[in-house]
A and B are shown apart, each in its own frame.
Chain A
Amino acid sequence: MPVRLGPMPLGNRRGREYYRQSWIFANALRTTRSTLVASQSPFGAAHFERVTFDSLEYRWRIAEREADYGVHKAACSTVDWKALREDFPILREQAHGHPLIYFDSAATSQKPRAVIEALRNFYEHENANVHRGLHTLSSRATEAYEKARQRVAEYIGAASADEIVFTRGTTESINLVAQAWGGKFVREGDVILLTEMEHHSNLVPWQLLAERTGARLRFVPVLDDGTLDLEQLPALLTPEVKLFGFTHISNSLGTINPVAELCEKAHAVGALTLVDAAQSVGHLSIDVQELGCDFMAFSGHKMCGPTGIGALYTRREILDSIPPWHGGGEMIVSVALERSAFKKPPHRFEAGTPNIAGAIGLAAAIDYVDRIGRAAIFEHDSQLARYAFERVNELPGTRVFGPAEERGALVGFVMEAAHPHDVTTFADEYGLALRGGHHCNQPLMRRFSVSGTTRASFYFYNTMEEIDRMIEILDKAARFFS
């Protein structure tokens, strides 16, 4: 495994060259050291991987390509993944008399004790409303809530905590952009460019905006292999495009989109970019400044956090130009009967008492995920996803969707023998939690001529053994239904 140096700089050429050299140097040092150790080992040097500078150059090129996709890798072999399962009390549950295998983390992840405890601690020791109270508890709650905002900003590489608006989740974040930003800046004849693989949450808000303003929607097609047809991009990404919104990782196909490249191309025609990071933010290292996106929407509950809390990142220069969205308390400076003055962002966009405990729980989730390290998580989950892809693909009469190699932590498939709902009901009988249906991707399902798929989605608490068990159950299901 290559040595880890932290996230790779994406935008800046000099930064990248410096990183490249340090990367190669650090790995070369490591190789020398391991060879040295190996020569003293009774098993001899053959037991150690031999890495030359040439192969390091090759590995660098792979790492660089991964960086273009917002993907960073690191050694995941040092993490005791099985021990981490102990942090998740729910994984000890049984379903229908079988040990639970939870393969539905793309819908919502399970929560570690650290997050559950953080919520409890807040309600037991800090609970009060934020920003107004003058008493001790209110100060504690306000401090914890704003610290959580800071934590989110650091987690995604935002320049400042002011760029983070707390929302109920990805869906609300995107609606905020479509309604508040779109309402002001999008006019008749303008174009919102999306892709065919968007979750309904990054489609319906734009349909509503288009209806209201007379703007048009365009879509980047999806190829048979589940990747975006980027050859069409020049024809689609014209100066009328005001915003290009796309998912980082497809929740049905597992496709990882080249965020940095797409942002750069959008900016070249003057369009802003919105990244739906619901499926990526808990799985790989993200730096919004390096990726160069203008908006990023995500949820806490898919990355070990509580439900009902998420965030919208908006680049500061844009944030200041967006008018208020919801009106009410917490977002005003002063109110008269006829008019009001509004706070600066981000508080301008947080009307009413926010989900205080949720934000604090999200910060605890971030701490937890970062202690493991997202690079390690990504490598672990990729191994699971690739393994699952191969194994499911080997089952007779099965069609797996999305790219085989570089993919997010999920596998979507259909079986000739049985409908996705039947497969899912059958699997549940054996304690295996899969998801069957359209996964809020109806247009994408139509694109692939299926009514739905069965999806197995993974997180760092899942194991190869669980995938083996899934294959046994799917095999059983195929025989049962055919």
Chain B
Amino acid sequence: MEIEELYQEVILDHSRRPRNFGELPDAAVRVHGDNPACGDEIHLAVKFDGGGGLEDIKFTGRGCAISQASASLMTMKLKGKSRGEAMEMLRAFHYLVTNDAGDGPKTLGDLRVMKGVRNFPQRVKCAMLPWRAIEQAFEQGAGEATVSTEPA
């Protein structure tokens, strides 16, 4: 059934007990992402290391199982990655959830459990919300920013 492909056990687990969920007091950037179509929101806090890579990421917010699990999996995956690596992963992940691309590249690791989203086009934005936020965090570099799945 497609529904079980979408909501794989790993996804349900991450949505029930999201990893890296919480505050990051000494964050360099805070990005507030929202999906106005459903009212979901994510607050992503990012700390960079000396070379501009991701030292730590945490998030808070509320949303559906897909957006929560996507954020949880993303924060685990991106810790320690450079900006280039993170953006490459964003592209690969977006391709995975929007195209019939098999299991996607091995580099995506656990993120590949999200591939079922491709059968639910209305849910792609849920999966992409945290990724839009991290993209914005790199753009911003410091301070606060907002990002939306519906560009004004």
Contact = CB atoms under 8 A, between A and B. Distances in A.
Contacts of B152: none
B46 interface: no
A307 interface: no
B3 A451 contact: no
Interface string A444-460: 01000011100000000
Given A96-B2, A422-B66, A429-B2, A437 B37 contact: yes
Given A425-B123, A429-B3, A451 B39 contact: yes
Nearest to B3: A429
A419 B61 CA distance: 13
Given A429-B2, A451-B62, A421 B38 contact: yes
A58 interface: no
B38 A437 contact: yes
A442 B123 CA distance: 20
Contacts of B16: 482
A482 B120 CA distance: 21
B38 A451 contact: yes
Given A419-B63, A422-B64, A429-B1, A451 B40 contact: yes
Interface residues of A, number: 20
Given A426-B3, A429-B1, A445 B65 contact: no
B1 A421 contact: no
A131 B141 CA distance: 63
Given A425-B3, A425-B6, A429-B1, A452 B65 contact: no
B21 interface: no
Interface in B34-68: 37-41, 62-66
B7 interface: yes
Q: Chain B interface: which size bin?
A: 20 to 34
Contacts of B6: 425
A338 to B, nearest CB: 39
A48 interface: no
A418 B65 contact: yes
B133 interface: no
A419 B65 contact: yes
B123 A421 contact: yes
Contacts of A300: none
Contacts of A442: 39
B126 interface: yes
A451 B65 contact: no
B12 interface: yes
Given A437-B38, A437-B39, A451-B41, A421 B2 contact: no
Contacts of A419: 40, 63-65
B5 to A, nearest CB: 11
Contacts of B40: 419, 421, 451
Interface string B4-47: 00110000100110000000000000000000011111000000
A452 B39 contact: yes
Given A422-B66, A480-B7, 16 more contacts: A418-B65, A419-B40, A419-B65, A420-B38, A420-B64, A421-B40, A421-B126, A425-B122, A425-B123, A429-B1, A429-B3, A436-B38, A437-B39, A451-B39, A452-B39, A482-B16
**Interface pairs A-B: 5 shortest CB-CB:** A451-B39, A419-B64, A429-B3, A421-B64, A422-B65
30 contacts: A418-B65, A419-B63, A419-B64, A420-B38, A421-B38, A421-B40, A421-B66, A421-B123, A422-B65, A422-B66, A425-B3, A425-B120, A425-B123, A426-B3, A426-B7, A429-B1, A429-B2, A429-B3, A436-B38, A438-B38, A442-B39, A450-B39, A451-B38, A451-B41, A451-B62, A451-B63, A452-B39, A480-B7, A481-B15, A481-B65
